[in-house]
Amino acid sequence: MQVTIAAETKLPTPFAEFKLIGFDTESGQEHVVLALGDYQSDEPVLARVHSECLTGDALFSQRCDCGPQLEAAMQKVAKEGRGVIVYLRQEGRGIGLINKLRAYAEQDKGLDTVEANEILGFLPDARDYQVAASILDTLGIKAIRLMTNNPEKLQSLQDAGINVTERVPHHVAGTPHNKHYMATKTKKFGHLL
């Protein structure tokens, strides 16, 4: 997949001042990278590939662990002094915001994440990490230490040609509201929690 750097600017945060790099894709999707330090060196760089979650990242939902994972990744990169966070615009495991809200409504009736997506006619997880591989390649990043608990994400990036030298566990505290969600991630998606 072809990606193009469309814009670059500074993004001051409570953790560090990141370089914010905007990417356009041939499909018209837009993605961003938060980059810090010398991320283009020959040494493997600390990296997170994070899928957009408006409810968790911006609205502080406790139904998932997305917001705390993003914040923890920003803190880890800041502490290390170099790294990248690839922020992919693939809301709701790739089904979009409104469909994610519909899946939430199904979960309110007792279904888990997988069951809710399937009853709506979607794959349990429709995310695609090829664009992340293209973004990393465009940035000249040769090898990464990937912050993830998701073995499928790790395998997908490796299959796309990314040299993942290490899986860095990326655990965050759960809440009473996401216990079932976290159990589903472990049981049905094989996440290493």
Catalytic residues: 125, 127
- Is 145 a known ligand-binding residue? no
- Is 69 a known ligand-binding residue? yes
- Is 52 a known ligand-binding residue? yes
SS3 assignment, position 185 = helix
Answer whether 38's CB lies under 8 Å from 47's CB. Answer: no
- Is 177 a known ligand-binding residue? no
For 63-69, the CB contacts below 8 A with 24+ separation are 63/104, 63/107, 63/177, 63/178, 63/181, 64/178, 64/181, 65/172, 65/174, 65/178, 65/181, 65/182, 68/172, 68/173, 69/170, 69/172
- Is 32 a known ligand-binding residue? no
- Is 64 a known ligand-binding residue? yes
Residues at the annotated binding site for Zn(2+)?
53, 64, 66
Residues in the annotated binding site for GTP: 48-52, 69, 91-93, 113, 148, 153
